[in-house]
Amino acid sequence: MLYNILFVISKCIKPFFKDKLLDTFTITEDVILCNFIFFFSTILYHKYNNNNLQDIIDKINNDNFVNIIIYLLFTAFEIYLNNLILMNKKIIENKILQKSLYIIMMPLFGYFLFNKQIKINTIIGSIIILFGIIIIN
């Protein structure tokens, strides 16, 4: 539970810093800068734990290579769209809408595309969130 709270706090604060960065950097520059820093720090962390980078390469095979490419394409698309959304300066409204739609759509995609089960509480909660979106807008 603590990790979830810390994660949510981080996700709530981060867009405001991103907004300030987008006043200076273009979307492309921001993506390059942030991903370079993330990539470099991840490599250092991996090496610090005495792991070999070859272990990661060995795990890539035909089955998961396609999944990796699709995941990376979705991630790039998400980062670009998120930056475009932040550029309109309505951070709070857009983030509330994004999170609400995420909560509603994720179970639907899970059910219809990946055969995941949906609990009745999830359906009821999604309906309540949908009413909240209507009230906010």
Sorted by sequence, the CB contacts under 8 Å of residue 72 that are 6+ apart come out as none
Instruction: Domain ranges for the chain, please list them.
Output: 25-87, 90-137
Distance between CA atoms of 110 and 15, rounded to whole angstroms?
Answer: 27
Sorted by sequence, the CB contacts under 8 Å of residue 47 that are 6+ apart come out as 53
Give the model confidence (pLDDT) of 78-93 as tens digits: 888 888 887 777 777 8
Q: Is 50 helix (H, G, I), strand (E, B) or coil?
A: coil
State pTM to two decimals.
0.65
Give the model confidence (pLDDT) of 15-40 as tens digits: 888 888 888 988 888 888 888 888 88
